[in-house]
A and B are shown apart, each in its own frame.
Chain A
Amino acid sequence: MSESNIKNTEKEIIDEFELFNDWIGKYEYIIELGKKLPLIDENLKNENYEVKGCQSKVWINADYKDGYLFFKADSDALITKGIISLLIRVLSGNKPDEILNADMNFINEIGLKEHLSPNRANGLNAMISKMKNFAMVYSNQNVN
């Protein structure tokens, strides 16, 4: 059921972005979303939680509760915060296996990637990998 949760949220985001017909609107919306990001604890802003491969600093942490993963994050750049908040909205509150299987196709659908520099696109992939790594850790725990 939760797999469709992810898909539903992706669909929601795609619909929201369809309201904007230019990149400025999309960026302004992303920046707004960044302001609502569930923030990571200040003391976790260290190397263990840092996402490598971003030009801006990004930290992500996951809490595991009753079989579900909940992400928190922060960045020193606003647009980056907005992008993570989209990722968190899609992935947070789902089971590790569902997170691992998410194809995150909404990123292409909302036309975000064409407005990201290759550098930033690398950073985006690094953020997704970091989140999936958390999912992998807890997914293995379930097996044991």
Chain B
Amino acid sequence: MNIDIVNENISFDVYKLRKEFPLLDQQINGCPLVYFDNAATNQKPLSVINSIREYYETINSNVHRGIHTLSERATEAYENSREKVREFISASGSNEIIFVRGTTEAVNLAASTYGMQFINEGDEIIVSAMEHHSNLVPWQNLTSRKKALLKFIPITDNGELVMDEFKSMLNEKVKFISVVYVSNTLGTINPVKEIISAAHSYNIPVFIDAAQASPHIKIDVKELDCDFLAFSGHKTYGPTGIGILYAKEKYLDLMPPYQFGGEMIKNVSYEHTEYNNLPFKFEAGTPNISGAVSLASAIDFINEKGLLNIARHESDLLKYAENRMNEIEGMNIIGNAKNKTGVISFIINGIHPYDTGSILDNLGIAVRTGFHCTQPLIEQRYNLPGTVRISFAVYNTVEEIDRFIDGLHKVKKMLS
């Protein structure tokens, strides 16, 4: 019955699109793979895989230093990628785009530079109760070293931020706010624009962890007016080991370098170093050039399919999956925000998530189980031993959801 709703909205051919993803076409434990762990990392289209190969086959050399042609080509490709990323998130200038390893490194960079420089004893930093460890532990570490205070925006049982509570937490002691755009565990899309605007009325800079947003939502840093934002290549149909830190130029100028050496220098004597301009000041050592270049291919892939089409397809899958899951007795979906991406965390009454995950794996269905790097959220806020999480990407289908539902029935039969 729900298939009709799904089909009428698909504006591209998902079955044709799947052919662009070689990994999907394989058997796991004797069954065709169903890959539902996209929030951990999604699969790569051939265009991205080929771009890595092509980079090494044709232009590999070090950037920003060679006089020779190949080095110039590599530098051009690397800087073109930076420009592509700038455009992807609508930043003002490409000097505000820093290549890092991933979102985790971006948060660490901000905490270790801006944080170490500008957070003092007695200051407050606000994060939310649904942060990934990567946007929690660096701030925990910073506030503990600086004798500052880390505060948490509470969330409702449905998994939405309590915005009134957040606004009442704002005062002149708050010096930084870092919030997740889309929860990796609950799928909640947070009202980050409202957060940023409220924070700015107290002149508080805001960092947005967009790791789970970049493959699903159009990010516009100018419209959001966020001060910092980070996302990861590998969750955006790109390779692992490359990610982006965006920050407004005024903050990047104020921040000391994160790491030292390589291309982050302008002049070095035995006694003293003058640091390079933005963005190179934050890119010490030989960067992940092939990663950056193939991230540009991943952005091309997304642009070609259209983020809106992708989001609509995933939203249809979400509705279909939630409806079918709710047919199962004892099903508890954790995270029922009004505004969600294609992430469903759940637990079936009386069945440990680990057992559910093991049986599904044996049926060729890849899901994530456990805390999803949000242990305080699962253990302290929801008081659960973990959840099972499924998460969708552009290539997932209704038929895969049907197989997953059949899998859940098998889980129940075997474990109840």
Q: Do A and B come from one complex?
A: yes
Residues of A in contact with B (beta carbons under 8 Å apart): 23-24, 27-28, 31, 55-57, 76-80, 115-117, 120
> Which residues from chain A contact B355 at a C-beta distance below 8 Å?
56, 77-80
Inter-subunit contact B385/A78 (CB<8 Å): no
Determine which of B361, B369, B385, B414 lies in contact with A31 in the assembled complex, contact meaning CB atoms within 8 Å.
Answer: B414
Inter-subunit contact B414/A117 (CB<8 Å): no
Inter-subunit contact B370/A23 (CB<8 Å): no
Inter-subunit contact B358/A79 (CB<8 Å): yes
Further 13 A-B residue pairs, CB within 8 A, beyond A55-B370, A117-B361: A27-B362, A27-B414, A28-B414, A31-B415, A55-B386, A56-B352, A56-B355, A57-B385, A77-B354, A77-B355, A78-B352, A78-B415, A79-B354
What number of residue pairs across chains A and B have CB atoms under 8 A from each other?
45
Inter-subunit contact B385/A117 (CB<8 Å): no
Complex Cα–Cα for A78 and B350 (A): 10
Inter-subunit contact A115/B29 (CB<8 Å): yes
> Which residues from chain B contact A24 at a C-beta distance below 8 Å?
362, 414
> Which residues from chain A contact B369 at a C-beta distance below 8 Å?
55
Complex Cα–Cα for A57 and B386 (A): 11
Inter-subunit contact B415/A23 (CB<8 Å): no
Q: Nearest A residue to B416 by beta-carbon distance?
A: A78
How many whole Å from A55's CB to the nearest CB in chain B? 5
Judged by a CB distance under 8 angstroms, whether B359 is at the interface is: yes
Say what secondary structure dominates the interface of chain B: helix
Determine which of A55, A56, A76, A115 lies in contact with B362 in the assembled complex, contact meaning CB atoms within 8 Å.
Answer: A115
Complex Cα–Cα for A120 and B369 (A): 11
> Which residues from chain B contact A120 at a C-beta distance below 8 Å?
354, 358
> Which residues from chain B contact A31 at a C-beta distance below 8 Å?
414-415
Count chain A CB atoms within 10 A of each CB in B351, B352, B386 and give the residue with the most: B352
Determine which of A28, A77, A116, A117 lies in contact with B352 in the assembled complex, contact meaning CB atoms within 8 Å.
Answer: A77
Q: Interface code B346-385, partner A: CB below 8 Å = 1, 0 otherwise?
A: 0000011011011101100000011000000000000001
Inter-subunit contact B414/A80 (CB<8 Å): no
> Which residues from chain A contact B361 at a C-beta distance below 8 Å?
115, 117
Q: List 6 A-B contacts (CB under 8 A).
A: A23-B362, A28-B414, A77-B352, A79-B358, A117-B357, A120-B354
Complex Cα–Cα for A90 and B385 (A): 29
Complex Cα–Cα for A79 and B351 (A): 10
Complex Cα–Cα for A57 and B379 (A): 13
Q: Which B402-416 residues have a C-beta within 8 angstroms of A?
A: 414-415
How many whole Å from B356's CB to the nearest CB in chain A? 9
Q: Nearest A residue to B415 by beta-carbon distance?
A: A78
Complex Cα–Cα for A72 and B414 (A): 24
Inter-subunit contact B359/A27 (CB<8 Å): yes
Determine which of A27, A28, A80, A115 lies in contact with B354 in the assembled complex, contact meaning CB atoms within 8 Å.
Answer: A80
Complex Cα–Cα for A137 and B308 (A): 62
Complex Cα–Cα for A56 and B352 (A): 8
How many whole Å from A126's CB to the nearest CB in chain B? 14
Q: Interface code B120-150, partner A: CB below 8 Å = 1, 0 otherwise?
A: 0000000000000000000000000000000
Determine which of A28, A57, A117 lies in contact with B358 in the assembled complex, contact meaning CB atoms within 8 Å.
Answer: A117
How many whole Å from A40's CB to the nearest CB in chain B? 17
Complex Cα–Cα for A16 and B355 (A): 22
How many whole Å from A3's CB to the nearest CB in chain B? 32
Count chain A CB atoms within 10 A of each CB in B354, B357, B362, B415 and give the residue with the most: B354
Complex Cα–Cα for A23 and B31 (A): 13
Q: Which B309-364 residues have a C-beta within 8 angstroms of A?
A: 351-352, 354-355, 357-359, 361-362
Q: Interface code B217-234, partner A: CB below 8 Å = 1, 0 otherwise?
A: 000000000000000000
Complex Cα–Cα for A80 and B370 (A): 14
How many whole Å from A118's CB to the nearest CB in chain B? 11
Complex Cα–Cα for A117 and B361 (A): 8
How many whole Å from A17's CB to the nearest CB in chain B? 15
> Which residues from chain B contact A76 at a C-beta distance below 8 Å?
352, 385
Leading 5 A-B pairs by shortest Cβ distance: A77-B352, A56-B354, A77-B354, A79-B355, A55-B354
Inter-subunit contact A23/B29 (CB<8 Å): yes
Complex Cα–Cα for A122 and B15 (A): 37
> Which residues from chain A contact B357 at a C-beta distance below 8 Å?
117
Complex Cα–Cα for A31 and B352 (A): 12
> Which residues from chain A contact B415 at a C-beta distance below 8 Å?
31, 78
> Which residues from chain A contact B370 at a C-beta distance below 8 Å?
55
Count chain B CB atoms within 10 A of each CB in A23, A27, A28, A56 and give the residue with the most: A56
